[in-house]
Copies of this chain bind each other. A is one copy, B any other.
Amino acid sequence: MKTACGSMSCNEQDLSLHQSDQAMIDQAPEDDLQGDPFGHFYAIILSGGAGTRLWPLSRELSPKQILHLFGADSLIRQTIARLTKLVKEERIHIVTGQRLFDEIRNHLLTEFPPCRKVQYILEPAARNTAPAVALAAWQIAKQDPKAILGVFPSDHFITDDQPLLDAVRQAATAAKDGWLVTFGLQPERPETGFGYIERGEPLSPEPSLFRAARFIEKPDLETAKELVAAGRFFWNSGMFVFSARTLLEEVERFLPILSEVLGALDRYSPDERAQFAQQEFERIPPVSLDYGVMEKSERVAMIPVSLQWKDVGSLPALAEFHPKDSAENVAIGHIMQEGCRDSLLYSDSRLIAAIGLENMMVIDTPDATLVCPKERAQEVSRIVARLKEEKAPESVAQRYSHRPWGSYVELEKGSSYQVKHIEVYPGKRLSEQLHRHRSEHWIVLQGTAKVTIDTAEQIVQPNQSVYIPANAHHRLENVGKIPVHLIEVQNGEYLGEDDIVRFTDDFGR
């Protein structure tokens, strides 16, 4: 057992799988838990999404699952909170890519209570969900060959957890028997934005477990109406439960290149693996778990579930989370409107004045505004594609960013300078760090900061400033009882966030 964990820990390093602490090893399954399938249950949260459909609210580095727009907490934290009713936090694995990893971890560490024990599995390259889930299964199976995996999107909004949790428990039992279990949601309308699963014959002894007879991709409206009328078709929830072993067997059968790559990763020495993982992964044809495995396998079951469930797939869905006025408008933020109807008006901070809009949406963020009829919301993907082509910053990140120690907002950026407003929470400190290319001027606006430059410490108070030359070791700490606010003016030839050499960090980064 120790040896297995030790070797998995090495593998993690190689594949950049991060563990926030030793909790997972301590929680490795014991044989005496074997009677309960939850002794071998692990949750996989898929969180690699590109965040294009909610642009300009979502960005490449601010995907919708970390936004605070849908309910009291972010969708990924709602998902984690739901799953911790089934398993300990350390049994929850977030699968994401290298670029998003920092943002998601910062988000989960920043929020209260912080999620310190969740695990991260980093895809060496983005290859859609089948490779992501197979990698997680391969990884977890090394630690626990009997692992039962629940796969969950990170961006679903569900108000009543219990029916889902019950269904997952039931699914875990079926998964032990070799089924790939899907969850069919009772369709509420002839929705064209989801795939459907046809319910087949019941699978005894579980009365509510059925064979999944057929998968149907997003239908047109006519077909959708027929499917709903027929009564035996369910929305494909995108959630799955299966054993790692069953999944890997089906992957071997239907996705031979993926299977071969996982085998190849096994054969590399740890040193080689670190070097070759990305290259190997890039060989894998991108394919979804639905299309690559579920639609082909004959071992797929379905459990119908009735859920208070929302797919936040496009901007107009945002309106469902906020109150409407008497003209069916939803106005969020600093809005002044005259004579609008059925419109969605959202502003981060600036004033939006809207006159006479009908069925429109105006989505305003500090660096970009979208104006569009609600029914054409899905066309925002074209805008995002053009922005990516132009390598425009508006496709990548928001101007604000959360950090475990606080947050910052970019006020202005030029080719050789940048101005930020930084907030540091009481008692928190940034990592000890240096920058190769940029100098920093800090002017404190509020609070009491302790600034260490090389070995010299000083207290900096409101209306005082301090200068940090390039290449100087420095550290910023809020030693007071209220947040520290400061303006940072950076000067340098290169201003990327990756010009940072970290020495010690309270947040394990």
Contact = CB atoms under 8 A, between A and B. Distances in A.
Interface of A: 56, 336, 338-339, 350-357, 360, 362, 364, 366-373, 376, 379-380, 382-383, 386-387, 392, 394, 411-412, 414, 416-417, 419, 421, 439, 441, 443, 445-446, 462-463, 465, 467, 487, 489, 491
Contacts of A373: 355-357
A352 B487 CA distance: 28
A353 B370 contact: yes
| Interface hub of A336, A369, A371, A416 (most chain B Cβ within 10 A) | A371
A354 to B, nearest CB: 5
A55 to B, nearest CB: 8
B368 A351 contact: yes
A369 B353 contact: yes
B336 A419 contact: no
12 contacts: A338-B379, A338-B382, A350-B367, A350-B369, A351-B394, A353-B368, A353-B369, A353-B372, A354-B371, A357-B371, A416-B462, A487-B487
Contacts of A379: 338-339, 355-356
Contacts of A356: 372-373, 376, 379
B355 A360 contact: no
A353 B370 CA distance: 5
A252 to B, nearest CB: 44
Contact of A487 (B371, B382, B489): B489
Given A376-B355, A489-B487, A463 B439 contact: yes
Given A387-B336, A411-B412, A416-B445, A354 B368 contact: no
Contacts of A386: 336
A491 B380 contact: no
A371 B368 contact: no
B336 A355 contact: no
A6 B296 CA distance: 100
Instruction: Kindly list the 6 A-B residue pairs having the minimum CB-CB distance in the complex, ordered from nearest.
Output: A355-B372, A463-B491, A351-B368, A356-B376, A443-B489, A411-B411
Nearest to A343: B371
Nearest to A395: B351
Given A356-B376, A443-B441, A465 B463 contact: no
Contacts of A394: 351
Contacts of A339: 376, 379
B338 A351 contact: no
A6 B465 CA distance: 53
A462 B491 CA distance: 8
Contacts of A362: 369, 371
Nearest to A363: B353
A292 B359 CA distance: 46
Contact of A441 (B368, B371, B414, B465): B465
A368 B383 contact: no
Nearest to A462: B491
Contacts of A416: 445-446, 462
B360 A371 contact: yes
A364 B347 CA distance: 13
A491 B460 CA distance: 14
A339 B368 CA distance: 18
Contact of A445 (B366, B370, B414): B414
A494 to B, nearest CB: 14
B387 A370 contact: no
A56 B353 contact: yes
A443 to B, nearest CB: 4
A462 B441 CA distance: 12
Given A350-B366, A353-B370, A487-B487, 17 more contacts: A56-B351, A336-B386, A336-B387, A350-B367, A352-B369, A353-B371, A353-B383, A354-B371, A360-B371, A362-B371, A371-B371, A411-B419, A416-B446, A445-B491, A462-B491, A463-B491, A465-B489
Contacts of A419: 411, 419, 421, 487
A412 to B, nearest CB: 5
A338 B379 CA distance: 8
Nearest to A376: B356
A254 B439 CA distance: 70
